[in-house]
Amino acid sequence: MSGKKPLFERRGAFCCVVENHLFPLRLSGGPDGELSAALRYLNQRYTMPNERAQALLTDIGTEELGHLEIIATLVYKLTKDATPAQMREAGLGGHYAEHEKALFYSDANGIPWTAAYIQSKGDPIADLAENIAGEEKMRATYQWLINLTDDPDLIDALKYLREREVVHSQRFREALYLVEEHYKTHKFF
């Protein structure tokens, strides 16, 4: 990137220990979840008009895959020792009937993930604006999940994920500014 400061720097993985606390947390498989975000960003990077925006989408898309791994680990730890009755009591009876305790990408209502969730307009300004909104939606979702539990280790993991969404939103705002500046100096019509 020709010596310029990157818009985004990756951080190390976050680990936590979650024991003996079953919580109805599903993989982020909804339209605003980590899987959709990762795939959306990794696809959108190709239509960004400058290297910095392309690199940002690559880095954040890759980090979102890491977030998906964190969530998968949390879900696994929260359900691995659960009985079928506990799964049912936690609202996961349908999941258990279909998948036992296997990880499966669905939203909080059990609706399976679909590629229809991935948006990529091809207009960098529209795509970055949508990405900002998506990060803010996930920030809110993580806060609401924090409000639903009293497990300190789970709260720590969710706070970490929530904070990363804030950082991503800020980086997308910076990229949006750079793209808008790019279009001011390059006439396309």
Q: List binding-site positions for Ca(2+).
A: 59
Distance CA 78, CA 26 (A): 10
Amino acid, res. 185: T
Count Cα neighbours of 79 within 13 Å in the Cβ-side half-sphere. Answer: 27
Q: List binding-site positions.
A: 34, 59, 64, 67, 135, 168
CB 95 within 8 A of CB 110: yes
Q: At what angle do helices 34-44 and 124-147 cross, to 10 degrees?
A: 160
**Residues above pLDDT 90, as percent of the chain:** 50
Token pair for 159: 């706070």
CB 31 within 8 A of CB 117: yes
83-120 per-position pLDDT tens digit: 898 888 877 888 889 999 888 888 877 888 999 999 89
Tabulate helix, strand, coil % of the chain (nearest 5): 60, 0, 35
Segment 75-80 shows an average pLDDT of 84
> 76: burial class by Cβ within 10 Å (0-12, 13-18, 19+)?
middle
Q: What pLDDT is recorded for position 137?
A: 94
**What number of other Cβ atoms are within 10 A of residue 25's Cβ?**
20
Distance CA 67, CA 26 (A): 13
Residue 3 banded pLDDT, cuts 50, 70, 90: low
Token pair for 126: 């529209």
Token pair for 42: 């990794």
- Give 6's contacts (C-beta < 8 A, 6+ positions apart): 52, 55, 56, 59
Distance CA 147, CA 156 (A): 12
Segment 145-160 shows an average pLDDT of 90
Q: List binding-site positions for Mn(2+).
A: 34, 64, 67, 135, 168
CB 1 within 8 A of CB 80: no
In order of their start, the domains of the chain are 34-109+121-184 (1.20.1260.10)
